[in-house]
Chain A
Amino acid sequence: MTPSVRLQEMIRVIRSARTQGEERGIIQRECADIRAQFRQGDNGERSHSLAKLLYVHMLGYPAHFGQMECVRLIASPRYSEKRIGYLGAMMLLDEKQDASLLITNSIKNDLSHSSQYVQSLALCTLACMGSAEMCRDLAPEIERLLRASNSYIKKKATLCAVHIIKKVPELAELFTPSARTLLSEKNHGVLHGAVVLITELCKRNPDTLDQFRKAVPELVQIMKGLVTSSYSPEHNVAGISDPFLQVRILRLLRILGHNNDTASDAMNDLLAQVATNTDSSKTAGSAVLYETVLTIMDINSESGLRVLAVNILGRFLLNNDRNIRYISMTSLQKIVQTDHNAVQRHRGTIVDCLKDQDTSVKRRALELSLALVSAVNIRSMMKELLIFLSFCPPELRSQTASGIFNAAERYSPSKRWHIDTILHVLTTAGGDVRDETVPNLIQLITTASELHCYTVHKLYRALVKDIAQQSLVQVACWCIGEYGDLLLKGECEEIEPMQVTEDDVLDALETVLQSHMSSPATRGFALTATMKLSTRITDNVDRIRSIVSIYGSCIDLELQQRAVEYNALFKKYDHMRAAVLERMPVMDKNLPGHTNGDTPGEIKEPDTSKPKPVEAGLLSEPASQVCDLLDLLGGTDTPLQPSPAPTSTPTTTSSADLLDLLGGLEPTPELTIPPAPFDLFVLKDKHCCVYVHVVPTVSVYEKNGLSLKIQCDKQTETEVTVSLIASNSTQNDITNFTLQAAVPKSVQLQMKAPSGNVIPAHGLGQVTQTVLLNNPNKASLPCFRFMRIRVSYSNQGAMHQDTVLIDSFPSTACQPSISPL
């Protein structure tokens, strides 16, 4: 009887099932059959039944009842049964199953079997699913096989040893002596295994790494032999002699040469030889070249070699094979920081790749292009990037937009160019830009006072054309409100003249107000802009008054509040109107991360829009920025609905003034404060720019006069930047102050240099240190916000050390605090 007929018959029957239900029925019957077979015991049919079960398992049906059968078959003396039993073990058993331990003994026996094929089965299974316990049990056996057996077994034993070391790192010492001798083997399989083993050993233990550095000359010899050898049919792949082994050796050389001059020197010649002699017309050669480039970049190679490597990558960029272009761009991305000039030479090709069909290639080209932008090439690069933005796939839009903004901010040759660029992006991809763009752009516009006329004209025209892009509309409304008088004047040197009447402007704003496309925040902008125009236009003030009064009964609470306040401004406080609606002064640039980061559209949630109540005395921002509530007039001159400035802390004097100003008005119940930034806000007759700016600091450690506070500077999905501020209230200075931090494994930590290591006494000074936590896997783990800090310092000659555990960071400005674990 041929073994597979029954199996193949069953497979045929299953495949002929026409519906899922029919298939399930067949499978159920077969499984019942198989179970019966297993119960019957030894009758020569067991291996077929297990094979059938494995097929069923691959289709996705449960097969756990076959686990014990695997164990039994492995113990059988028949090779056919062992073979299928081991296969079943690899498929159905893993180290988490209890049954896996039962095969340890069989494996042990089979490792010393007379037939090498039985030994090989055992080795393969151990390397595939061996648990730590099994590995510990069988390690001595494997070590023996490493030394004294034929090449067939040696190569398998070597890889088994690699698996053992991964599972039980302490056993690495067991295999280190034999690993060295294996390098003198001629058999490529064994040699390959040996290189893998040595790589694994070196990764685990720096001492072993030092030890194996002495093997560099030997490895170089082997490589040379491979590269210069004549055609060997056994190992040849597209003209390269054993590319698998070559790549592996190059990888090991990389690890051995990293940060070590002697080792790197010993490899220089070889790497140059491989780089120049390898034929890269097929994938095999390119794979070897690629690995060579990676090695050259990672060791202390001489500059000529590095240039050679970058040139290889440049050549790859022009290759027809898309894979190779992709590879070269990922590699260039890694080295663009260190070898910037060399990569710049290939800028043209990289920019061309922006037009490639493949999205992954486009993405890589985008990242690389953004990294290559410099003051010199900003204009041409930006042209390309803006073209790219118009045609790029939607998933790359926001990345492109933010990249363009960053580049523009760093390298813009002129303000006008900067504003033009931002406007271009907003018109093309306004929906994909980040929320900070609107306040940033407004701030930029206010600083470019000579361009106000130009800007407002441009924005007006863009607004008239299309009101769908919310960010653009918001900025346009704000500008029209502020600089409406310039718009109405008509002439502007830098742009074609266009007659704009007051009615046109009010029409435009009203369209925004009424359009269903406008978000609530946008409508807030438009309403305020309309109001501001009341002091800048002459004829249509009545029209403005009527618009404003209509919105006094708007369903949207925010708009209603504004409208009511503006109405009041018209009626009872008309004498103050001009002062209130005056032009805003130039604003200071916000520190990054301290803007009101809420999306303008979410004013409905009172939590996010209300700034966090500040804990007393914890304002750590310099006094130049008044931390006060930004909202229109609420809280200033109109006595009607003063927003009680929830952030007002007793410590800031300006807010104290504010409260005085309101002079005895009852505080209203808490209002939802819209997150729309930069609305006007005037304090008495002083002009003062305010925006929400609450940065709470939380004290995490107070002992012996040393206090440590933590403040969250910036918080995104994958990154948190915190500052640790230490102060000293004792009589003596604290010296040798150092902080060490530890974070969970999945988080990357970067500590910037501290501002100093001496903290003056009596709280006269502070030491600040910034820490960056990066969570690249974007796992929103609660433990992302875990950090353990060790503090050590000397005070009055005595050394002190202490540890602090931080399990939640304070929120950044105006964001709800993230609840800790």
Chain B
Amino acid sequence: MTMHFLLLFSRQGKLRLQKWFLPLPERERKKIVKDMTTMVLSRKPRTCNFLHWKDLKIVYKRYASLYFCCALENKDNELLALEILHRYVELLDKYFGNVCELDIIFNFEKAYFILDEFLMGGEIQETSKQSIAKSVEASDMLQETMEEYMSKPAF
């Protein structure tokens, strides 16, 4: 299930999150984002969620005002990719409580942290929702306690 990249963008084509699992120069990334947004946004409502682009399969799904779009290799299982996207949305929902686009805009770094607990190197690293939620919570706690600790005067 090697993902090449994962993008989140709004209905107006504004990018909300981009995760690249392959080293690509900045210019090429921009071009890919543009291609993806044009392709996905021009899809009619009742069409299937799979596209072909170059030699990759593109799987996308719309959740409210956000499009979740990922690129797979030709041998990968598209139906599972849909499940992966869905799982990520569930994780965001659990973390933010009824997640909406604004949550992801204003807390984008948290969205990345959650993603980094779910996927790594383009592959799934944890299949249990609870486990991921626990790790993210623990990391957040660590951040806060460290902050408190660090902001105390040394002596």
Contacts and interface: CB of A to CB of B under 8 A. Distances in A.
A283 B79 contact: yes
Contacts of B94: none
A235 interface: yes
Given A79-B146, A159-B123, A358 B55 contact: no
Contact of A80 (B30, B46, B147): B147
Interface in A225-260: 234-235, 237, 242-245, 247-248, 251
A323 interface: yes
Interface stretch (A286-294, A442-450, A643-651, A666-674): A286-294
Contact of B127 (A7, A11, A235): A235
B96 interface: no
Q: B24, B54, B79, B113: which has the most chain A beta carbons within 10 Å?
A: B79
Q: B77, B107, B124, B129: which has the most chain A beta carbons within 10 Å?
A: B77
B88 interface: no
Contacts of A8: 106-107
Interface in B15-32: 15-18, 20-21, 23-25, 30
A696 interface: no
A360 interface: yes
B146 A80 contact: yes
A753 interface: no
A11 B79 contact: no
A360 B80 contact: no
Contact of B47 (A160, A235, A358): A358
A196 B123 contact: yes
A206 interface: no
A359 interface: yes
Contacts of B147: 3, 78, 80
B120 A128 contact: yes
B128 A323 contact: no
Contact of B24 (A79, A94, A120, A242): A94
Contacts of A245: 127
A326 B50 contact: yes
Contact of B142 (A117, A322, A357, A359): A117
Given A84-B109, A283-B79, A360-B50, A96 B120 contact: no
18 contacts: A11-B106, A15-B105, A59-B15, A60-B30, A79-B146, A87-B112, A128-B121, A192-B126, A234-B131, A235-B128, A242-B127, A244-B84, A245-B127, A283-B82, A322-B48, A323-B50, A323-B78, A360-B47
Interface residues of B, number: 56
Contacts of B128: 188-189, 234-235
A815 B39 CA distance: 36
A644 B86 CA distance: 71
What is the size category of the interface that chain A forms with chain B?
Answer: 35 or more
A716 to B, nearest CB: 19
A786 B119 CA distance: 40
A275 to B, nearest CB: 15
Nearest to B151: A44
Contact of B79 (A44, A115, A286, A359): A286
B1 A247 contact: yes
Nearest to A60: B30
Interface of A: 3-4, 7-8, 11-12, 15, 44, 51, 54-55, 58-60, 78-80, 83-84, 87, 94-96, 115, 117, 120, 123-124, 127-129, 131, 152, 155-156, 159-160, 162-163, 188-189, 192-193, 196, 234-235, 237, 242-245, 247-248, 251, 283-284, 286-287, 290-291, 294, 322-327, 357-361, 776-777
The 5 closest A-B pairs by CB, nearest first: A287-B79, A127-B121, A189-B126, A79-B146, A287-B80
B63 interface: no
B54 to A, nearest CB: 7
A489 B64 CA distance: 70
Nearest to A776: B55
B131 A327 contact: no
Where chain A touches its partner, the secondary structure class is helix
Contact of A359 (B47, B112, B129): B47
A243 B80 contact: yes
Nearest to A325: B48
A117 B112 CA distance: 15
Contact of A117 (B47, B79, B139, B150): B139
Nearest to A12: B106
B115 to A, nearest CB: 10
Given A3-B147, A189-B127, A244-B124, A322 B139 contact: no
B48 A124 contact: no
Given A189-B127, A189-B128, A324 B135 contact: no
A359 B48 CA distance: 9
A8 B80 CA distance: 35
B46 A117 contact: no
B103 to A, nearest CB: 11
A58 B50 contact: no
A58 B130 contact: no
A383 B87 CA distance: 45
B123 A162 contact: yes
B138 interface: yes
Contacts of B16: 58
B38 interface: no
Contact of A323 (B25, B79, B87, B151): B79
A51 B109 contact: yes
Q: B17, B50, B83: which has the most chain A beta carbons within 10 Å?
A: B83
A247 B77 contact: yes
A163 B120 CA distance: 9
B46 to A, nearest CB: 6
B18 A58 contact: yes
Contacts of B65: none
Given A54-B109, A326-B50, A192 B121 contact: no
A344 B148 CA distance: 70
Contacts of B24: 94
Nearest to A63: B26
B48 A58 contact: no
A83 B139 contact: yes
A83 B151 contact: no
Contacts of A243: 80, 83
A192 B131 CA distance: 14
Interface string B55-83: 10000000000000000000001111011
Contacts of A360: 47-48, 50-51
Contact of B109 (A87, A123, A128): A87
